[in-house]
Amino acid sequence: NQNIFIFHRASREWPLIGSMPETFIKENTVLMVDNESGEILKSWGGNLFIMPHGLTIDKENNVWVTDVGLHQIFKFTPEGKLLFKLGEANVAGKDQTHFNRPTDVAVANDGSFYVSDGYGNSRIVKFSPTGNYLFEWGKKGDKQGEFIIPHGIDLDVNGNLYVADRENNRIQLFDSTGNYLTEFSDKSFGRIFSVAFDKNSKKLFSIDDISFLKLIPRGSDIFSFDKSGKVKTRFGRSGLYDGELSLYHDIAVDKEQDIYVGDILGNSVQKFKKVISR
């Protein structure tokens, strides 16, 4: 069995109006879960976070998380020991040492990492393995290399970065120096919340959401793409799914190509097993 990590907000609710909360969540917010039984094996993270958002596991099983309330990113051991953090707590900014509601982290094989920064800044920032600022790109907009909420990011086997450009309903692809390569877009896509590149099958997966006036959810889809960027498989609101109405926020794929999605409408994690065709 593989263990999966879940980053959740416990009793904290996202404010639809007004400012972010300022108090820490008392409950544990990071859960290590058995991927078959769903049993919680370990939990930590109480009194550390204000508004949990993105979670990434690197090749050494370190846990990277972003907090859009604190405007910070954190790196922990799997047991919850803090290794380092970036950004100034409770201070939003747009420079080499500050973020504005960062959404996600992607870690390269050499230890360098990217931060999607995010709700406030609409940029991607790259750092060295020790957290030194290297460079950044992006601004708010709908042209190539621009974003309206870069919400989730992931790297392929060649070190290229996929960005879920949420409000532009597209995925943009960049090389390791921030050069634009291509985009995946389609009129049928809703808001693209997250991406996951499976390094074993070398396939890209993503999730979207369609909501009426961005307030009333109409359902999410899960996509897999072929190498040319065409949708190969699609299910969810579009069919092949008989579960409750869902709003998928994040996606991950394990070594067996089983898919995990966080559903913020149902406050649950859904697992989809790969179907073996005969």
Q: Please write the tens of the pLDDT for every residue from 159-171.
A: 999 999 999 999 9
For 85, the token pair is 């953090």
Instruction: Return the sign of the alpha-carbon dihedral for residues 21, 24, 25, 26.
Output: negative
Q: What is the pLDDT of residue 195?
A: 98
C-beta neighbour count of 199 within 10 angstroms: 14
User: Cβ of 179: how many Cβ atoms within 10 Å?
Assistant: 11
* Neighbour-count burial of 170, counting CB atoms closer than 10 A to its CB (0-12 exposed, 13-18 middle, 19+ buried): buried
d(CA 156, CA 151) in angstroms, rounded, equals 17
pTM above 0.85, yes or no: yes
Strands 30-34 and 82-86, how do they pair?
unpaired
Contact 72, 66 (CB under 8 A): yes
Residues 250/54, Cβ–Cβ less than 8 Å: yes
What separation in angstroms does the CA of 72 have from each of 65, 75, 85, 109, 192?
Answer: 9, 10, 7, 22, 23
Higher pLDDT, 200 or 194: 194
Which token pair is 133?
Answer: 């600022």
- By DSSP bridging, strand 72-76 and strand 82-86 are antiparallel
For 58-112, write each residue's pLDDT tens digit: 999 999 999 999 999 999 999 999 999 999 999 999 999 999 999 999 999 999 9
Q: Specify the pLDDT at position 94.
A: 97
Q: Which DSSP state fits 144? A: T
Q: Across the strands, what pairs with 208?
A: 192
What whole-number distance in Å separates Cα of residue 2 and Cα of residue 56?
15
Of 149, 150, 175, nearest to 161 (Cα)? 175
CA atoms within 13 A of residue 232's CA, in its CB half-sphere: 10
Burial of 266 (0-12, 13-18, 19+ CB in 10 A): middle
Q: Counting runs of H as helices and runs of E as strands, what totals does the chain give?
A: 0, 23
pLDDT band at 126 (very low <50, low <70, confident <90, very high): very high
pLDDT digits (tens, 9 = 90+) for 14-73: 998 889 999 999 999 999 999 999 999 999 999 999 999 999 999 999 999 999 999 999
